[in-house]
Structure 1
Amino acid sequence: MPRPSARIALTVAASLVPMLALAGSVFLNGVKIDGVTNQRFEKATVRIDGEGNVHIDAPGYAARVTTVTPTPTPPSTATPPASAPPDAGVVAQAPAPAASPSVPGRITQRYWLVTEQTTPGMTDFDIDVYVNSRWLRRLRNNEDQVVVDITSQLRPGANAVTLIARKQAGGSRRSTSPANVFKVIIGEGNEGGGNVMIDTPLIRFQKTAADAQDATEEFTLTTR
């Protein structure tokens, strides 16, 4: 049985024209997004062709085809985590804040991590992801787009997310252009019809081929 594919459209805010009930397929900027629900787009042009297909032209929005990557088995809870790679480094963080009495006992939304690269392999950066001081996975510079449901790695309320980008040594740099970008986006989303949609981006982190230094950035992600 083929593995499900995922299409990602990062939305800023919106208004999806109520023409999706017509016969035919729905296309966002030329990419078929049949099965996607609960999405709205701003400043979009909508046209219907002779076969009943709905074409949405929305500058600033993107739809991509990828493969959903299963969530990896979390490493040991020991500090530092035993399964973290030898060169993953040490993350020094204050303890994550305790949940407020008003925080619900369970997470009602789904949270996804996705990557986007202008051209895989050109930035020469690998990025390690930590959630609440536990190593989650390494996002490699030369791999295709990654789509991971990280809901099970989070807890209700505030979560500490740390992203560590390391320039990969060895040989000459493949590019020094700021146009070659490696992005990591984490946010609330949903899945339907084989598509993953991030409705509310909460964390954005990126490095370009022009960057030469390692970088670490810490974020607080509050679930609901």
Structure 2
Amino acid sequence: MPRPSARIALTVAATLVPMLALAGSVFLNGVNIDGVRNQRFEKATVRVDAEGNVHIDAPGYAARVTTVTPTPAPAAKAPSTPPGPAPAGAPVDAGVAAAVPPASTPSVPGRITQRYWLVTEQTTPGMTDFDIDVYVNSRWVRRLRNNEDQVVLEVTGQLRPGPNAVTLIARKTNPGSRRSTSASNVFKVIIGEGNEGGGNVMIDTPLIRFQKTAADAQDATEEFTLTTR
């Protein structure tokens, strides 16, 4: 299978429907996605092999067979009285408004209705010499290691309704002895809305993209705002 914010719809042309009906299996970038439904792909190349299997080549999308344990989104109960001022020095919670918003401003929902995933992609694991730490709302989530296989992680449980601060910190692991200096060796992190079906995870709305290449020599930190729905 299966890392600022642009909505990407996943699209297959309607003319492919007859071919899909006759196909033995459907593959996305070489991964079987027979169990996935209601998906659209954009900028995809489709071919049918001699056995009737449909192969979809769609750069920018990832699919991987994996075992997924769904994480239920916590339901936040609205307070019965308006919250008082925060203590001095206490962190401000972006999910709680300090005053009642105007009628024209939509309120932050009390629960998250979508599922959010983190997926990594590496051209060749181990070649960029970067490890990447992931923080959500200043809490460390995990380290994405340079030499590990693809990571597929649901992060819905780490998020809260409304805006969330996501920080990605890339650190060079072998600055003195680099395995490669080629920009073609890439380590990508994609975070976005997606779903799971048939043992596959599909990110159909990428919201955060972060990458380092073997040509990069310096550590890097980038901060994003992810607004949940």
Q: 1:139 to 1:43 in 2, by over 3 A?
A: closer
**Counterpart in the other structure of 2:136:** 131
Structure (1 or 2) with the greater strand fraction: 1
Structure 1 stretch displaced more, 162-171 or 184-193: 162-171
**Counterpart in the other structure of 1:157:** 162
**Counterpart in the other structure of 1:38:** 38
**Counterpart in the other structure of 1:174:** 179
Structure 1 stretch displaced more, 39-48 or 102-111: 39-48
Larger radius of gyration: 2
CA positional deviation for 1:37: 1.1
CA positional deviation for 1:134: 0.4
Q: Deviations over 1:31-73 (max 9, x none)?
A: 321101121123545555665x3414445355543545779xx
Between the aligned partners of 1:175 and 1:151, the Cα distance in structure 2 is 35
Q: Give the total of aligned pairs.
A: 194
Q: Deviations over 1:150-172 (max 9, x none)?
A: 00110010000000000113651
Q: Deviations over 1:145-193 (max 9, x none)?
A: 0000000110010000000000113651100100000000000000000
Q: Show the 5 A alignment for 1:55-74.
A: 55-60=54-59, 62-65=61-64, 67-68=66-67
Identity of aligned residues (%): 74
Contact 2:63 2:201 in 1 (8 A): no
Between the aligned partners of 2:185 and 2:47, the Cα distance in structure 1 is 33
Contact 1:46 1:54 in 2 (8 A): no
Contact 2:192 2:205 in 1 (8 A): yes
**Counterpart in the other structure of 1:198:** 203
Between the aligned partners of 2:224 and 2:155, the Cα distance in structure 1 is 15
Q: Secondary structure at the match of 2:157?
A: helix
Q: Does residue 220 of structure 2 align to residue 215 of structure 1?
A: yes
TM-score calculated relative to the size of structure 1: 0.75
AA at the equivalent of 1:104: P
Q: Which runs of 4+ in 1 moved over 4 A?
A: 43-51, 61-64, 68-71
AA at the equivalent of 1:215: A
Q: Secondary structure at the match of 2:17?
A: coil
TM-score calculated relative to the size of structure 2: 0.74
CA positional deviation for 1:26: 1.5
Structure 1 stretch displaced more, 163-172 or 208-217: 163-172
Contact 1:96 1:132 in 2 (8 A): no
Aligned with residue 94 of structure 2, among 88, 93, 97:
97
Q: Secondary structure at the match of 2:223?
A: strand
Between the aligned partners of 1:58 and 1:139, the Cα distance in structure 2 is 26
AA at the equivalent of 1:129: V
Between the aligned partners of 1:50 and 1:170, the Cα distance in structure 2 is 48
Between the aligned partners of 1:122 and 1:47, the Cα distance in structure 2 is 31
**Counterpart in the other structure of 2:81:** none
